[in-house]
Structure 1
Amino acid sequence: MTTSADSSGKKPGPPQRQGAKRAPAGAAVLREDVTDAIRAAVFAELAAVGYARMSIEGIARRAGVGKTAVYRRWRSKLHLVLDLVSALAVQGLPAPDTGSLEGDLRLLYEVTSRALRHPVASQVIPDLQAEAARNPEIAEALQKALREGQHGVASGIVQAAVARGELSEGVDEDLALDLISGPLYWRAVVVRAPLPAGYLGSLATATGAALRGL
């Protein structure tokens, strides 16, 4: 059986499947393991040298990749750090559900305390805060991370306590969130003092009493 040619003299090619899509020429597939290695290297580099001295070269060296691998994913170290901070906000903290206000507060404090004591976090958070005072983009990303992370969980604790009748419906939620989040953050991040035995339980009890007085 012969195949007819079109008006240009060329034979038609094989029929294309309906809905089939062709990958763009030269499209690059970003390996997830390389992306994870770069993200881990950023945290380690931040803890080691701080944001101001951190460089794409240092990140790439620590991750065991070339600089091109980093630039294919992020335009600059600022965008890289902003992406990581935003990712932390999405991950957030687990929402406590112990059935009581003090129990929820105690669990929140235990999880938060462990996170703040992590060697990388204890170095990275203060450095990013200092940088936020000079860089509005980092400041905005940190505020978003706090709102969607710690404050989001704390808000859930307050709302659950209101629903159980442990707190009044007219409680000032903004003040309540400050009372919940402030003391531990002050002690662990600002003052950087060790937490004595029983401190988290006492803090949960004191915070619960303060919230009921609002």
Structure 2
Amino acid sequence: MRTTLELGQEIGYGKLSIEAVAARAGASKHTIYRRWPSKGALLLDSLLSLHETDLEFPDTGDLRADLRAQVYAAVDLLGQPPFGHLFQALVGEAQYDPQVAASLNERFIAPYTDKTVARLKTAQDQGQLSPDFDLDLGMTLLSGPLYFQFLITQEPLTRERIDRLHHALFTGLAPDPRVRRDP
């Protein structure tokens, strides 16, 4: 798996092959294929094995600070070198390989979503969120803009962008009544 990441960083996902990984790792391609049916499955395991605990949620009692810290960790992992471009490629591969899509969802997306919704529920129970706030929608609002930027526009994910997104989410889209606007 380490060889997969090293080679992926060097030549990119498009040129990555099981054969190239086997040659560099000193293993037979049949050995690799017995465990991983595709290069997408191999890359998924490689990325997740190195970063299984990096996206844990803090719970300091301050929802905004906890969400910010958690999303910063996600941005540092997913949107930055050395692995950002490999995560992008993996999500792209999931669009064509149902096994990679299912595994990515089961092992990364769903656990992350569950942790986010659980943290929002705790905040809701503590009165930090409206009691009728739709927690699943909250997850969508928190993650959707990041995935859009990460996958569609491919603009860099930055902590400043996270701060702006969180401010918009928590403040809402309505103008601040304290700020006077001249007509």
**Match of 2:169, as an amino acid?**
T
Number of corresponding residues: 169
CA contact (8 A) 1:113 1:188 kept: no
What percentage of residue pairs aligned between the two structures are identical?
27
- Which residue of the other structure, out of 74, 77, 84, is the alignment partner of 2:35? 74
Give the superposition deviation at 1:117.
2.9
Per-residue CA deviation, residues 133-181 of structure 1 (Å, 9 max, x unaligned), is 22111111122221112x1331122112112101123321221110111
TM-score for the superposition, normalised by structure 2: 0.74
**Match of 2:12, as an amino acid?**
V
Distance 1:195 1:137 in 2: 28
3-state DSSP of counterpart to 1:95? coil
Q: Which residue of 2 aligns with 1:49?
A: 12
TM-score for the superposition, normalised by structure 1: 0.65
Q: Which residue of 2 aligns with 1:172?
A: 134
Distance 2:44 2:6 in 1: 16
Q: After the TM superposition, which residues 1-214 of structure 1 pair with which residues of structure 2 at under 5 Å, given as runs? A: 39-47=1-9, 48-50=11-13, 53-63=15-25, 65-67=26-28, 70-71=31-32, 74-78=35-39, 79-81=41-43, 83-84=45-46, 87=49, 91=53, 93-144=55-106, 145-149=108-112, 151-194=113-156, 198-210=160-172
Per-residue CA deviation, residues 185-204 of structure 1 (Å, 9 max, x unaligned), is 32234322235673332322
Give the direction of change, closer, same or farther, for the CA distance of 1:195–1:118 in structure 2 (3 Å limit).
Answer: closer
CA contact (8 A) 2:94 2:100 kept: yes
Give the superposition deviation at 1:129.
2.2
Give the direction of change, closer, same or farther, for the CA distance of 1:96–1:75 in structure 2 (3 Å limit).
Answer: closer
**Match of 2:27, as an amino acid?**
G
**Match of 1:142, as an amino acid?**
L
3-state DSSP of counterpart to 2:83? helix
Gaps of 5+ in 1: 1-38
Distance 1:187 1:42 in 2: 26
Give the superposition deviation at 1:69.
8.6
